[in-house]
Amino acid sequence: MGLLSWIVTGAAAGAVARYFLPGRPGGFVAVLVLAVIGALIGGYISSYFDWGTLAVIHPRALGLALVGALLMILVARKLRL
């Protein structure tokens, strides 16, 4: 259940980031994929620190997944410039 929540958190963060940070047309899927990857990395880091696992949804894990998704999007935006 935790993995699914990380993916959904990443997709939601990607959709919100795309809305507030418009970029090139046709990049919506790329932003969603980057956000989901960032959320999975953030979720993995949270499970490493024992703040949540793949089986249990924990607020810290969701928060770190959200931060990971946003950081991944922002890093990708800066590298494209």
pLDDT, residue 26, reads 53
Q: How confident is the model at residue 1 (pLDDT cuts 50, 70, 90)?
A: low
Q: Output the six-digit token pair for 59.
A: 């607020």
Total domains present in the chain: 1
pLDDT, residue 54, reads 67
CB-CB contact of 72 with 37 (8 Å)? yes
pLDDT digits (tens, 9 = 90+) for 9-64: 778 877 777 777 666 655 778 888 888 888 888 888 888 888 777 677 778 877 88
pLDDT, residue 19, reads 75
Round to whole Å and give the CA distance between 58 and 24.
Answer: 35
In this structure, the chain runs to a length of 81
Print the domain residue range for 69: 2-80
10, containing H or E segment: helix 2-20
Whether the predicted pLDDT of 71 surpasses 80: yes
